Amino acid sequence: MKKISLVVHQNYVEDIIKTLHENGMMEIVDISKEEPEILKEIEKASMHPDAGICTNYELRLTRLIDILDKIRVKPKGIKALLHPELPEIKTVEDSALEEMFSHTEGALEEIEKNILENDQKLQYLDERKQKINQDLEQINYLKDFDIDLSDVGESTYVLIKAGKTSDLDGLQSEIEKIDRTTLYSKQFGSGKEIEWAVVIATHILEKEKIEKICRERLTEFDIKDLSGYPKDILKSLKKEIADIKKRKKQIITHLRKYAGKELHDLRALKEEIQLERVRREIPKNFAKTNTTYLINGWVIEKNEETLKASVENTAKGCTLYSSQTPSANPDNPPTYLETPKWADGFKSLLEMFATPKYNELNPTIIMGIFFVFFFGMMLSDAGYGSIILVLALFGYIKLGKHSEMIRSWSFMGIWMGLITTIIGFLTNSFFGDFIPRFIYGDPKAPLYSITIAGIHLPLEPLKDPLTILSIALIFGLVHLNVGIILGLYQAFKRKAYKSMLTERFCFVPLQIGGGLLIGHFILNWEISSIVFYAAAIMVIIGLILLFISSGPIGFFDITGYVGDWLSYARLLALGLATAGMALAFNVVSQLIPDMIPLVGIVLLPILLIVLHTVNLGLQALGAAVHSLRLQYVEFFNRFYEGGGHEFAPFKMKRKYTKIEEKID
């Protein structure tokens, strides 16, 4: 990474911004944040006045696009999955901003009024429909009452209340205490949901008492705007609902036709305005004098000469270019993660944890390989692995051409499915014991039986868990020691030799010497006296190095390392969980036909599909989470710091447009 400074004459600053935006090689930094001391001598630049105009047009276009996008017909379900919508790319001219503003204003003047008026009509109809539905719900309670709803309320001599209650007895007992008052009721519902529609008529002099009772025991209806008898009003409102649906359908049909003609053009126009807005806003990161602008930023070292040539060509020599090699502190350069395209999925896993610091090792590929392998060991079922493999292949071949993210994640899924399938066959698991139980007729029979180099396959975790545990712990040691080697290399690269020896290298003699001594005293290994004394010396050397680094508290580093190593037992635990649950589901499903002979035959395949789908989802999620944990906690703890920020160049991103190529 190189730190770049550009001093550009004000006459060429817009051309330089456009060039930087198009070639996308330079990350532009905010001078006021990164180098505030510069602003003691020169002033901070501000964004171009036209940025506000661009923002206004962008908001107006966004509103129109949202309305049309919400109303248009979209593919759903399987159809949307198999045939995802692709953005329609419009060829546009590289025109001046004033010309673009004129074109945008003309387009909006023609389209905006039509779309917004119809959208307002739809909103009004929706609000009216909602009000009618509320009225219908209330009037349904009163449909059997012979009363004009305009009489509900207060008149010169009479007060009439209408509502519903769930405590009719309590209400009646209160009403009976009041003179010149009558209560009419109608029951609705039954059991615990029983309610009564109630109409109360009383003399106006009893108003205060009645209103107190109604507040406590009655949910009043809001029908003050209605007049006529309930049954007549119900018919009228239902007819109005039908008319609203018809009017909405007409408006929606019109807007959908409009969307088919205008939506892609509006998206393309919005994208052009967005790009111009970004260019007009970026000067707020610059500093300026009376005649020049200062632009600071970062560029990848291999792109420096190309960037320099493009800048000098654009400014016709009216620019000063300088670059320097940064230091991690205090410059804090961005991190450029260079990984192959196929490893983009792994890169996203790394970014979920933390971006590496500048000049820190990029562990993406190594982390990704171990993640996939540990996932396969934890899921360890060939049936489940086959499903993941097929789905990932479908995503990669069918959907990947429409989305780089789907393509990269599907590629990772292919390897996850493949490794899981292979390990599943090695550990005698295909949907648990599905094949032996339902095809061979003998649940104890293995999928196959073969001996290679004295090793009998398949291994069976449920019958011989200690073998699988030993394999898991061996892979754990490999994983941890790869982390130690990476830590040693990184410390050496940074010339932190003391840290390399005391914090990193100390675990090498500790592991070798400690392993030999444990084998001798606990596992009864026979070792020569020379090996014994060499092992003891290695342990002493390791302890001395560790205590130089951490002092007496370094003892806890040893116990922590052992704890990290034992964490790899989860490779066995999750594999056993997958196999055990699959076995249990197969046993339960097999019992169904015996319990319900005719129905059970039909239920058996349905139950197997549902239960194994649930098991696949749960166990795959668990395998992914725990495999990531082994990377983030146990592996990264050996060497990785993180805390950097990724290189983010000032780069043009087009989705709906492309510039028309000019033929000379």
More confident call, 299 vs 40: 299
Domain-located, residue 39: yes
What's residue 402's pLDDT?
79
- Residue 275, domain member (yes or no): yes
Does position 359 have pLDDT exceeding 80, yes or no? yes
503 or 482, higher pLDDT: 482
Q: 613 CB contacts (<8 Å, ≥6 apart)?
A: none
Indicate if the pLDDT at residue 664 is higher than 70: no
* Number of other CB atoms surrounding residue 149 within 10 Å: 24
Looking at the structure, do residues 500 and 579 belong to the same domain, yes or no? Answer: yes
Residues 152 and 256 occupy one common structural domain: no
Indicate whether 336 belongs to any domain: no
> Is there a single domain that holds both residue 451 and residue 533?
yes
Please report whether residue 268 resides in a domain.
yes
Dihedral sign for Cα 86, 88, 93, 94, please: negative
Q: Is the pLDDT of residue 595 over 90?
A: no
For residues 150 and 228, is the Cβ–Cβ distance under 8 A? yes
Looking at the DSSP bridge assignments, the partners of residue 44 are: 287
CATH number, position 201:
3.30.70.2750
Asked if 55 and 69 sit in the same domain, the reply is yes
Q: What distance in Å separates the CA atoms of residue 507 and residue 502, rounded to the nearest whole number?
A: 9
299 & 230 share domain:
no
Extract the tokens encoding 415. Answer: 């390897």
Q: Does 663 have pLDDT greater than 70? A: no
**Shared domain check, 496 and 369:** yes
- What domain range includes position 292? 8-45+286-324
The count of other CB atoms within 10 Å of the CB of residue 338 is 12
What tens digit of pLDDT does each residue of 519-549 get? 888 888 888 899 999 999 999 999 999 999 8
| For range 495-516, the mean pLDDT | 92
438 plus 380 within the same structural domain: yes
569 and 483 fall within a common domain: yes
Instruction: Tell me if 656 is assigned to some domain.
Output: no
Residues 361 and 502 in one domain: yes
How confident is the prediction for the chain on average, in pLDDT? 91
User: Do 96 and 231 belong together in one domain?
Assistant: no
- CA dist 25 and 23 (Å) reads 6
pLDDT band at 662 (very low <50, low <70, confident <90, very high): low
Q: Which of 324, 350, 377 is the last residue of a domain?
A: 324
Percent pLDDT > 70 in the chain is: 99
Q: Are 149 and 231 in contact (CB under 8 A)?
A: no
Place of tokens 């609000």: 127
330 in a structural domain:
no
Is pLDDT at 464 greater than 70 in this prediction? yes
User: Do 253 and 381 sit in the same domain of this protein?
Assistant: no
> What is the pLDDT at residue 416?
97
564 inside domain: yes
Q: Is residue 199's pLDDT more than 80?
A: yes
pTM, 2 dp: 0.82
Give, in order, the Cα–Cα distances in Å from 13 to each of 25, 310, 312, 347, 350: 17, 13, 12, 36, 37
In a domain, 2, yes or no: no
CA distance 157 to 143: 25
Give 654-657's long-range contacts (Cβ < 8 A, gap of 24+): 654/271, 654/275, 655/87, 655/89, 655/271, 656/87, 656/88, 656/89, 656/90, 656/264, 656/267, 656/268, 656/270, 656/271, 657/89, 657/90, 657/91, 657/92, 657/268, 657/271, 657/272
| Residue 311 scores a pLDDT above 90 | yes
pLDDT band at 593 (very low <50, low <70, confident <90, very high): confident
Say yes or no: 252 and 178 in one domain: no
pLDDT in tens, 38-97: 888 899 999 999 999 999 999 999 999 999 999 888 877 777 777 777 788 898 888 888
**Token couple for 269:** 């126009």
Complete DSSP assignment for 276-317? HHHHHHGGGG-EE-SSEEEEEEEE-GGGHHHHHHHHHHHTTT
How many residues comprise the chain? 664
Domain boundary (236, 263, 294) is at 236
How many structural domains does the chain have?
4
**Segment holding 389, helix H or strand E:** helix 382-394
424-434 pLDDT tens trace: 999 999 999 99
Q: How high is the pLDDT of residue 34?
A: 86
Give me the long-range contacts of 470-474 (CB less than 8 A, separation at least 24): 472/377, 472/568, 472/569, 472/570, 472/571, 472/572, 473/565, 473/566, 473/568, 473/569
Residue 491 has pLDDT above 80, yes or no: yes
